[in-house]
Amino acid sequence: MLSKIDEHFEEVLCAIFLSVIVGSVLMQVVLRFVFHSAAAWAEETAVYGMIFAVYLGATMATRERAHIRITLLLNRLPKSLQVTCVVVADALWLGFVIFMIVQTLNYTQLLFNVTYQTPGLGIEQRWVQMFVPMFFCLMLFRILQVYWRWGKDKFEGLPL
């Protein structure tokens, strides 16, 4: 059961959020062109769905090692330099993710000092923004998981 969650967590949530985007935009189009009306919350729902889908997609790409890399040059290097380049790049990426966790947590803490409700949905902005550091923490977990699995494979090949 845990392996299924590990394999499909981001995919299921991405599919849900993409469905929310499509549903909200489709409903808004129908309301505007057929009924000459609009739902104030539909645009915000689509925007938040897009934000969540993008962060979850980035996390899913991290898990699958599917982020864009310049592999043409990497594949021409000797194996030891390939590993070194990938590990250094991932260390920089790990540093960036940790930096983003700290910065988004600081930003979220600032939001607890003010009251800002979203105009369409009427929810506190702080609750929506709290997901961003959580997504970066999930990305951090996935990066570490890749290297843990690589270590279990006795560091054979590249960390995949």
Q: Does some domain include residue 158? A: no
pLDDT in tens, 25-43: 999 999 999 999 989 899 9
Q: Does some domain include residue 66? A: yes
Residue with tokens 């062109």: 33
pLDDT of residue 95: 97
Q: Does some domain include residue 157? A: no
Domain count, the chain: 1
Q: What are phi and psi of 86, to 5 degrees?
A: -65, -45
Pick from 35-39, 100-104, 116-120, 139-143: least confident? 116-120
Which domain, by its residues, includes 91? Answer: 2-152
Q: Does some domain include residue 159? A: no
8 A C-beta contact, residue 28 and residue 43: yes
Neighbours of 6 (CB within 10 A): 12
Q: Does some domain include residue 40? A: yes
* pLDDT greater than 90 at residue 18: yes
117 forms beta bridges with: 124
pLDDT in tens, 136-155: 999 999 999 999 999 898 88
Ramachandran sector of residue 57 (left: φ over 0; alpha: ψ -120 to 50; beta: rest): alpha
8 A C-beta contact, residue 20 and residue 32: no
Q: Does some domain include residue 16? A: yes
Nearest Cα neighbor of 149 from 157, 104, 28 is 157
Please tell me the distance from the alpha carbon of residue 44 to that of residue 121, in angstroms, as a whole number: 7
User: In angstroms, what is the C-alpha Rg of the chain?
Assistant: 20
Neighbours of 119 (CB within 10 A): 10
